[in-house]
Amino acid sequence: MTVLVIDVGGTNLKVSVGGTGDAIKIPSGPEMTAARMAEEVKKAVAGRGYDCVSIGYPGPVVNGRPAQEPHNLGAGWMRFDYAKAFGKPVRVVNDAAMQALGSYQGGRMLYLGLGTGLGSAFVGDGVLEPLELAHLPYRKNRTYEDYLGLRGLQRMGRKKWQRHVEKVVELLQHGLQADYVMLGGGQTKELATLPPGVRLGTNAHAILGGLRLWNKDEPAPRSS
């Protein structure tokens, strides 16, 4: 089975057919609606066959559909008919959950995506559980995302930002009883060192997660 994987980000769409070769990058941004996404992706992979589609969506997903419109993209994602647009079976999951599935190395794993915002997911006991930790209060009337996302890095500088990354990782790992924490996202390149019990993911893990969504032997996403 050949899977078309689409990792939807606020800056780029990352697209892969069958997990072979480098992912195709398509600029996204505030004008990227769901309909435009489908058209741009189909154009980029024209002539390449696939049997099904995995979409990593930057927001909560309930029953396999976006439950809110995205913060950093255009509109129309909640009501869009993805299966009709691609003419193939489609599975939509939270983007952090898709990357978590691709990052999973057994046991109980917490995934944190340090990007423009803060993605989060948990895998354990054969279940992939998307989390929404980003907008929970952390300190000084600010959220976890305000400290660990891009805004926090820009506001505090790299050294102070890293201290908060380490503190939050320790807090959440203990609270969720995770065996290890996987960090992904573009801001991981700003980390000088990795905290204890932390492993570093890559963008390729999102593509692998999209492939694994169609493998019955992998942890199943509770949201779908």
Residue 222 domain-assigned (yes or no): no
Give pLDDT, residue 136: 95
- Within a domain: residue 151? yes
- How does pLDDT run across 102-145, given as a tens digit for each residue? 999 999 999 999 988 898 999 988 788 889 899 899 999 999 99
pLDDT tens-place string over residues 26-63 = 999 999 999 999 999 999 999 999 999 999 998 889 99
Between the two ends of the chain, the Cα-to-Cα distance in Å is 20
Are 113 and 195 in the same domain?
Answer: yes
For the chain, the domain total comes to 2
Q: Is residue 62 part of a domain?
A: yes
113 and 85, same structural domain? no
Q: pLDDT grade, residue 224 (50/70/90)?
A: very low
What is the span of the domain harbouring residue 199? 106-205
203 or 58, which is more confident: 58
Same domain flag for 116 and 187: yes
Instruction: Let me know if residue 221 belongs to a domain.
Output: no
Supply the pTM of this predicted model. Answer: 0.85
Tell me if 43 is assigned to some domain. Answer: yes
Within a domain: residue 72? yes
52 assigned to some structural domain:
yes
Asked whether residue 26 falls in the same domain as residue 114, the answer is: no
Cα–Cα dist 25/39, whole Å: 14
Among 8-12, 54-58, 95-99, the least confident range: 8-12
Which CATH number do you get for residue 83?
A: 3.30.420.40
pLDDT band at 222 (very low <50, low <70, confident <90, very high): low
* 38 and 119 part of one domain: no
* Host H or E run for residue 205: helix 204-212
Question: Could you read off the pLDDT of 133-185 as tens digits, one per residue?
Answer: 998 999 999 999 999 999 999 999 999 999 999 999 999 999 999 999 999 98
Using a pLDDT cut of 90, give the percent of the chain over it: 76
- Do 150 and 122 fall within a single domain? yes
Q: For residue 220, what pLDDT is reported?
A: 63
Residue 152 lies in a domain: yes
| Integer Cα distance of 97 and 26 in angstroms | 21
Say if residue 214's pLDDT is above 50. Answer: yes
Clarify whether residues 63 and 112 are in a common domain: no
